[in-house]
């Protein structure tokens, strides 16, 4: 089963149903299919076929979706790249994925001009205003195509989604059509109760895992998705009210920004029935506030990774009874915890999270990393994907993610999970944001360092931070060093760059020691 066949079915069965809303544009399934088919024909005439990569460096727009399905029609592989990434980062993705075609928006051209000469492989297609020497996107729509070549049944790869690369170069996870359909069509519909009567809102970039997932939910189900050009709280509320949005996916930043407007205008959210959040990164307090504010809404949280898909689910009714958990394993997904020797850990003890759902690429787990056979072999063993996350199970089978394996601090022989310390820090009313890392320590091997962003209008000192932690977690887990910072460094996906924080901590400590 391929994603483009779903679009073709809806174009035939419910052609007038709105598939996509973007600004003033409303595109039904018939027109979306026709546009994607024309673009696929144009790309086919340029020699693009099964297995070729098509890199999409576009902001949220209708064209993004058209190119996505055009690629699927050809059996080509889409490489979505967030436009918040720099030209240098884009050049890396081009070099790594070796695409046959590269789609950009004319608004991005000035920032890409300097690297264009170094990108000689793909043919460039430009959405928006003309760019000298580059093919206009509209030219692809003029091809009169009657039939596209059949895609071999063996062609399953449909996307390469790059990991965020907080500690090194991003790796491209190969996602298959089955991965998308099983996860976003079948499992999500059953687990969350979403269906063809729902209307979805995308608040994040379509190239981001969250935005792409909600897009796939809607288009696999044959319903409507409303895509924001960029997130704005007031605009989001207006769309929820106007379009009668029933389902919205949120990352923590979006939820925090929406909260004041939601509190002032809860009536504008009366159509909402589902809020979908990622459980491992979504603060417990924020989830509770959402539930209290919108009591008729079902909150669905889950623990997922690009490479694995959904690992666990926490149902709405469990949000308070097991608020700190990321839930129990997703039906059909096996989860186990191993120690450093590869042995299963007892209930209540911490181990690395491994997940498996049949053969890689067949259900929810990726097929592997693009052009990285050694890394794939290290990550996937007998179908089990090593997530690099550390977690523990309780007696009822609920999973609690305590840290990334590489972020764990070993101090005085004790394992200290930075996430636990961060959660304690967030309980202080004067702390707006925080991150914890480990640094070398002559006495204990490693020491805990906390970076704190103070909430506007508040004040707090280092000693108060340390005492606050001492009162909530074991004394050996409290920060030894505290640094105050205006903004935590994050990548384009919002993940804290702990490598940068470690460098800053070492510099600060060296300066302090001098």
Report the relative pairing of strands 309-314 and 328-329 from DSSP bridges.
Answer: antiparallel
CATH code assigned at 344: 2.30.38.10
Statement to judge: residues 45 and 106 lie in one domain:
yes
Statement to judge: residues 385 and 415 lie in one domain:
no
Tell me which of 472 and 46 has the higher pLDDT.
Answer: 46
Whether residue 227 is contained in a domain is answered as: no
Statement to judge: residues 36 and 134 lie in one domain:
yes
Statement to judge: residues 6 and 155 lie in one domain:
yes
Task: Give the pLDDT of residue 168.
Answer: 57
The whole domain housing 455 covers 406-511
Task: Give the pLDDT of residue 166.
Answer: 46
Three-state SS for 294? coil
Statement to judge: residues 381 and 484 lie in one domain:
no
> Does residue 167 surpass a pLDDT of 50?
no
Statement to judge: residues 372 and 487 lie in one domain:
no
Could you tell me if 421 and 411 are in contact, meaning their C-beta atoms sit under 8 angstroms apart?
A: no
Statement to judge: residues 100 and 119 lie in one domain:
yes
> Does residue 513 surpass a pLDDT of 70?
no
Predicted confidence (pLDDT) per residue in 31-71, tens digit: 999 999 999 999 999 999 999 999 999 999 999 999 999 99
Whether residue 52 is contained in a domain is answered as: yes
Put residue 262 in one of left, alpha, beta given phi > 0 → left and psi -120 to 50 → alpha: alpha
- Domain edge (last residue) among 395, 426, 442: 395
Statement to judge: residues 368 and 436 lie in one domain:
no
Whether residue 220 is contained in a domain is answered as: no
Tally of CB atoms within 10 A around 333 = 20
Whether residue 69 is contained in a domain is answered as: yes
- Going edge to edge, which strands form the sheet with 368-369? 135-136, 123-127, 101-105, 53-57, 77-80, 157-162, 172-176, 368-369
Statement to judge: residues 377 and 426 lie in one domain:
no
Predicted confidence (pLDDT) per residue in 239-261, tens digit: 999 999 999 998 777 888 899 99
Mean pLDDT, residues 341-366: 96
Number of structural domains found in the chain: 3
Predicted confidence (pLDDT) per residue in 121-149, tens digit: 899 999 999 999 999 999 998 767 778 99
Could you tell me if 450 and 425 are in contact, meaning their C-beta atoms sit under 8 angstroms apart?
A: yes
- Domain edge (last residue) among 395, 416, 442: 395
- Domain edge (last residue) among 145, 175, 205: 175
């Amino acid at each position: 089963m391929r994603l483009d066949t779903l679009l073709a079915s809806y174009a035939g069965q419910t052609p007038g149903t709105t598939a996509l809303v973007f600004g003033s544009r409303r595109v039904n399934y018939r027109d979306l299919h026709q546009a994607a088919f024309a673009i696929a024909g144009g790309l086919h005439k340029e020699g693009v076929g099964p297995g070729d990569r098509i890199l999409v460096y576009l902001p949220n727009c209708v064209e993004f979706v058209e190119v996505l399905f055009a690629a699927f029609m050809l059996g080509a592989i889409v490489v979505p790249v967030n436009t918040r990434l720099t030209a240098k980062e884009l050049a890396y993705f081009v070099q790594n994925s070796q695409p046959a075609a590269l789609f950009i928006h004319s608004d991005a051209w000035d920032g890409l001009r300097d690297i264009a000469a170094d990108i000689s492989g793909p043919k460039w297609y430009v959405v928006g205003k003309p760019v000298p020497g580059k093919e206009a996107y509209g030219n692809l729509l003029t091809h009169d195509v009657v039939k596209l070549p059949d895609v071999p049944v063996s062609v399953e790869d449909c996307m390469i989604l790059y990991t965020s690369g907080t500690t090194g170069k991003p790796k491209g996870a190969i996602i298959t059509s089955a991965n998308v359909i099983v996860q976003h069509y079948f499992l999500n519909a059953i687990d969350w109760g979403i269906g063809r009567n729902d209307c979805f809102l995308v608040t994040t970039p379509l190239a981001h895992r969250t935005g792409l997932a909600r897009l796939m939910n809607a288009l696999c189900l044959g319903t409507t998705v409303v895509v924001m050009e960029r997130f704005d709280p007031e605009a989001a509320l207006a769309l929820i009210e106007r379009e009668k949005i029933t389902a919205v996916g949120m990352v923590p930043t979006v939820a925090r920004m929406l909260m004041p407007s939601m509190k002032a205008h809860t009536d504008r959210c009366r159509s909402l029935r589902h809020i979908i959040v990622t459980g491992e990164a979504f603060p417990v307090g924020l989830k509770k506030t959402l539930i209290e504010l919108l009591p008729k809404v079902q909150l669905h949280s889950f623990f997922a990774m690009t490479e694995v898909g959904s690992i666990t689910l926490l149902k709405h009714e469990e949000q308070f009874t097991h608020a700190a958990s990321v839930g129990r394993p997703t039906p059909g997904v096996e989860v186990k915890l191993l120690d450093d020797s590869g042995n299963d850990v007892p209930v209540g003890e911490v181990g690395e999270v491994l997940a498996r759902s049949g053969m890689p690429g067949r259900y929810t787990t990726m097929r592997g990393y693009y052009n990285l056979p050694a890394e794939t072999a290290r990550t996937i063993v007998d179908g089990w994907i090593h997530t690099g996350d550390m977690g523990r199970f309780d007696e009822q089978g609920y999973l609690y993610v305590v840290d990334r394996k590489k972020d764990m601090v070993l101090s005085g022989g004790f394992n200290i999970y930075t996430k636990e310390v961060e959660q304690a820090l967030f309980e202080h009313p004067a702390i707006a944001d925080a991150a914890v890392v480990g640094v070398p320590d002559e006495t204990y091997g490693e020491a805990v360092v906390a970076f704190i962003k103070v909430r506007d209008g508040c004040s707090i000192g280092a000693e108060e931070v340390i005492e606050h932690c001492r009162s909530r977690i074991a004394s050996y887990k409290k920060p030894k060093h505290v640094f105050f910072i205006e903004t935590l460094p994050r990548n384009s996906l919002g993940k804290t760059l702990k490598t940068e924080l470690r460098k800053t901590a070492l510099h600060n400590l060296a300066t302090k020691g001098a």
